[in-house]
């Protein structure tokens, strides 16, 4: 099915943030969140950080469970849950603006840290390669979510979602991709580097100057005075002692290469893209929708690579509309015509 391309005007994050507040449980930050969280000023990041929990996920019968970080819904219901992944080397805090909007709309919403990133306890240094990330997500879904989900993958999270749905199609009812990074063929030359050089590269990846540059590049416009704070939110998980080992393990394994899996995806898919993405060309959005079997594309103007941070109200609106839409299938249409 060819993609439906719609360009939508949208409200800015700057004018709407005071209009919602995430539901915060009693107490302060979880003890496992790095102490640098105390320096963060973004009230929505602070609120979501206070909701992060660790739940046991057992991926190997002979080894102990991994205490895995996520934000759980306050209540589960009979409707399909929305499960939010994040991008490369990030955390569930990416969803600090959208999560409360979905929750206020009554959606059972999970924000999950991909194994190797986020705030899970990786002291035992489990493998963080693609296959283990996939198995970990499946076991978390099987243990806690327990029903077909709408899986949302931004940037590299879209590759995580494609890899997952190709192996566990019955676990996913629909997909949402946001500025999807799915055409890169793995980690490239990083996978061929000796470990010493890989660690050196990861050390640079953690550095404040590089993170500041990447944050500025990722958005069409960062609110005045927020660049450093948004950067600190994005690198908070890097403060955990096992972050370097987990990231190097992922890189030398080769990373994600899902190019040959895209056309196998059968689930209805919503593709959201920032028109001003400076990281991934928007032409790839059209290619992706043409490669997918059943997709709809929405471009958001004046928006960069991370629409769920830059334009959270519009992203929430698109997701809610996608969940609610009941489309007539070709089979049902044929019955009506006959």
Highest mean pLDDT, choosing among 193-202, 246-255, 262-271: 262-271
Q: Which segments of the chain does DSSP mark as H helices, in order?
A: 13-16, 43-49, 98-104, 130-140, 156-167, 195-206, 208-218, 227-234, 243-253, 283-291, 307-310, 312-324, 330-337
Q: Apex CA 217: angle with CA 304 and CA 247, to 5°?
A: 105
Average pLDDT over residues 2-15: 38
- Band of pLDDT at residue 27, cut at 50, 70 and 90: low
- Cβ–Cβ < 8 Å for 58, 65: yes
Give the phi and the psi of residue 150 in degrees, each rounded to 5: -90, 110
Average pLDDT, the chain: 88
- Band of pLDDT at residue 204, cut at 50, 70 and 90: confident
N-to-C CA span, the chain: 22
Q: Which of 58-72, 145-159, 222-236, 279-293 has the lowest mean pLDDT?
A: 58-72
**Helix, strand, coil share of the chain (percent; to 5):** 45, 15, 40
Q: CA 73, CA 94: separation in Å to the nearest integer? A: 16
Give the phi and the psi of residue 5 in degrees, each rounded to 5: -105, 120
- pLDDT of residue 7 exceeding 70: no
Average pLDDT over residues 305-328: 89
Total residues found in the chain within this entry? 338
Per-residue three-class SS string for 106-149 = CCCEEEECCCCCCCCCCCCCCCCCHHHHHHHHHHHHHHHHCCCE
Residue whose C-alpha is closest to residue 99's, from 174, 148, 48: 48
- pLDDT of residue 194 exceeding 50: yes
Cβ count near 199 (within 10 Å)? 16
Residue whose C-alpha is closest to residue 298's, from 278, 314, 309, 312: 314
Residue whose C-alpha is closest to residue 118's, from 276, 242, 266: 242
User: What residues are labeled active site?
Assistant: 155, 277, 305
- Band of pLDDT at residue 43, cut at 50, 70 and 90: very high
- Cβ–Cβ < 8 Å for 96, 76: no
State the DSSP code for 158: H
- How far CA 94 is from CA of 105, 127, 157, 247, in Å, comes to 19, 24, 11, 18
pLDDT score for 152: 98
Q: CA 270, CA 141: separation in Å to the nearest integer? A: 21
Q: Classify strands 295-300 and 268-274 as parallel, antiparallel or unpaired.
A: parallel
Q: Which of 2-6, 31-35, 298-302, 323-327 has the lowest mean pLDDT?
A: 2-6
State the sign of the Cα–Cα–Cα–Cα dihedral 237, 15, 107, 22: positive
Residue whose C-alpha is closest to residue 315's, from 98, 110, 13, 90: 98
What global pTM score does this model have? 0.87
Q: CA 16, CA 13: separation in Å to the nearest integer? A: 6
pLDDT score for 62: 67
The share of the chain scoring above pLDDT 70, in percent, equals 86
Q: Which of 2-6, 36-40, 103-107, 175-179 has the lowest mean pLDDT?
A: 2-6
- Cβ–Cβ < 8 Å for 257, 188: no
């Amino acid at each position: 099915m060819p993609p439906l391309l719609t360009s939508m005007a949208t409200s800015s994050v700057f004018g709407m943030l005071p209009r919602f507040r995430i539901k915060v449980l009693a107490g302060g930050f979880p003890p496992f969140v790095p102490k640098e969280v105390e320096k963060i000023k973004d009230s929505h990041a602070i609120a979501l950080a206070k909701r992060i929990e660790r739940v046991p996920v057992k991926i190997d019968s002979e080894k102990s469970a991994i205490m895995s970080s996520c934000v759980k819904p306050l209540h589960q219901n009979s409707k399909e849950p929305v499960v939010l992944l994040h991008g490369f080397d990030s955390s569930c805090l990416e969803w600090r603006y959208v999560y409360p909007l979905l929750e206020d709309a009554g959606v059972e919403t999970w924000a999950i840290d991909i194994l190797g990133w986020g705030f899970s306890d990786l002291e035992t240094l489990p493998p963080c390669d693609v296959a283990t990330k996939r198995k970990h997500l499946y076991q978390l879904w099987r243990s806690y979510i327990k029903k077909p989900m709408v899986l949302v993958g931004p940037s590299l999270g879209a590759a995580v979602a494609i890899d997952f749905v190709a192996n566990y199609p019955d676990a996913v009812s629909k997909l949402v991709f946001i500025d999807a990074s799915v055409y890169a063929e793995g980690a490239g030359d990083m996978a061929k580097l000796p470990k010493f050089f890989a660690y050196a590269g990861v050390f640079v990846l953690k550095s404040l100057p590089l993170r500041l540059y990447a944050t500025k590049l990722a958005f069409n416009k960062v609110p005045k005075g927020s660049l450093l704070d948004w950067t600190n939110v994005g690198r908070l998980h890097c403060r955990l002692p096992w972050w370097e080992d987990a990231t190097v393990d992922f890189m030398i394994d080769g990373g994600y290469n899902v190019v040959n899996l895209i056309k196998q995806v059968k689930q209805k898919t919503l593709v959201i893209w920032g028109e001003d993405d400076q990281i991934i060309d928007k032409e790839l959005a059209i290619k992706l929708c043409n490669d997918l079997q059943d997709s709809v594309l929405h471009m958001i103007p004046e928006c960069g690579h991370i629409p769920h941070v830059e334009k959270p109200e519009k992203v929430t609106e698109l997701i809610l509309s996608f969940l609610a839409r009941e489309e007539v299938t070709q089979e049902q249409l044929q019955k009506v015509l006959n």
